[in-house]
Amino acid sequence: MIIGGLFCNTIRSFLLSPLFYEGILLAMINHSSMHIGAKNRPSFTHSLRFAKAACFGLMAVVMSGCSSLPVDERSDARDPFEDTNRSVFAFNMAADTYVLEPVADGYRTIAPNAVQKAVSNHVDWVGLPSTAVNSTLQGKFKNATLAVLHFAINGLTLGLVDLTADDEQPKTEDFGQTLAAANVPEGAYIEVPLLGGHTTRSLTGRAVDFVLNPLSVLNAGEVGQTVQSAQLPVAAVSVRATDFEAINEVKYNSLDPYARARSVYYQKRKGLLEDRLPGEISEGENDDAFNSFFEE
């Protein structure tokens, strides 16, 4: 038991070390550079997705195998790994403070409104295949049809221009919602490096949704690979810039930012599941914007 505990603490310390994430980034860069000039070289996005999947899996194994806090010591009964989650949350906030926040601030200051709108439209368009598939799995055929039509029409501009702005909009559906519809338990709360809070159910759903990116499914060539490689960082900056003040309000003016972010996450997910989980939901505009940043 003592050896197991020491091993668990050592692994968790490794996962929370900045050197771990620096190593991942260097490995991805080296992986991409080794294939420069190759006809079928993996894109940087493929490497990034592999690294994320590895992080998700490794964290899930370590956290599930390690001892959790007793129920009476948790600030929320659904958060058995609170100590580790708080450490990861601190890392995420540091990454936001030193990287994403200043980049987003510069983007919203310098980029014309038309450019920001086009980027936001593209981010929404990329999520439509996932909405179509998950709506179908949940029996929401009207919503699935709307998602397919919007994706096809706006695909003429790669989603940069919303050609269906005046039409009925599809409601976003993800695989986490599909799992909830199938009565899969939500599991424990887990703070994921760079992606924020998730339940184990929603994290599983998000991993499935990753593969539904339209540029992954279609053979879009070199241009498509370039666009796909830029999607993740561009989407993060776009969402952060859109909700800049609201996110900062929650981030800097909360007595316990971690507890508030966790509460907001559960409110947000409950709102997405409102057609399956009865009851009214009350959440502030700032809280909703803060959580939408991590949902992208």
Q: What is the pLDDT of residues 108-139, one digit of tens each?
A: 999 999 999 999 998 899 889 999 999 999 99
Please determine, for residue 283, whether its predicted confidence score (pLDDT) is greater than 60: no
Cα 32 to Cα 27, 38, 193, 276, distances in angstroms: 9, 10, 22, 43
The residues near 209 (Cβ < 8 Å, ≥ 6 apart) are 127, 130, 134, 174, 175
Can you tell me whether residue 112 is helix, strand or coil?
coil
- Please state, rounded to an integer, the average pLDDT across all residues of the chain: 75
Please determine, for residue 192, whether its predicted confidence score (pLDDT) is greater than 70: yes
Residue 70 in tokens? 């007793």
Q: Residue 144's pLDDT is what?
A: 95
> Sign of the C-alpha dihedral, residues 151, 154, 155, 158?
negative
Strand partners, 196: 192
**53: how many CB neighbours lie within 10 A of its CB?**
12
Residue 48 in tokens? 């990034």
Q: What share of the chain is helix, strand, coil (3-state, %, to 5)?
A: 70, 5, 30
Please determine, for residue 244, whether its predicted confidence score (pLDDT) is greater than 70: yes
More confident residue, 172 or 221: 172
φ/ψ of 199, rounded to 5, equals: -85, 165
> Sign of the C-alpha dihedral, residues 65, 16, 201, 266?
positive
pTM, two decimals, is 0.68
φ/ψ of 244, rounded to 5, equals: -55, -55
The mean pLDDT value for 148-174 works out to 90
The residues near 180 (Cβ < 8 Å, ≥ 6 apart) are 186, 201, 273, 276, 277
The residues near 199 (Cβ < 8 Å, ≥ 6 apart) are 78, 176, 186, 187, 188, 189, 190, 269
Q: pLDDT grade, residue 78 (50/70/90)?
A: confident
Domain ranges in the chain? Answer: 78-110+191-205+243-296, 113-173+212-232
Cβ(213)–Cβ(129) under 8 Å? Answer: yes
Nearest residue to 273 via CA among 207, 181, 204, 188 = 181
Please name the amino acid found at residue 24. Answer: I
% of the chain exceeding 90 in pLDDT: 33
Cβ(266)–Cβ(279) under 8 Å? Answer: no
Q: pLDDT grade, residue 221 (50/70/90)?
A: low
Q: Residue 88's pLDDT is what?
A: 93
% of the chain exceeding 70 in pLDDT: 61
**CA 288 to CA 271: how far, in whole Å?**
10
Strands (DSSP E) contained in 71-134 are none
Q: Residue 288's pLDDT is what?
A: 54
DSSP 219: -
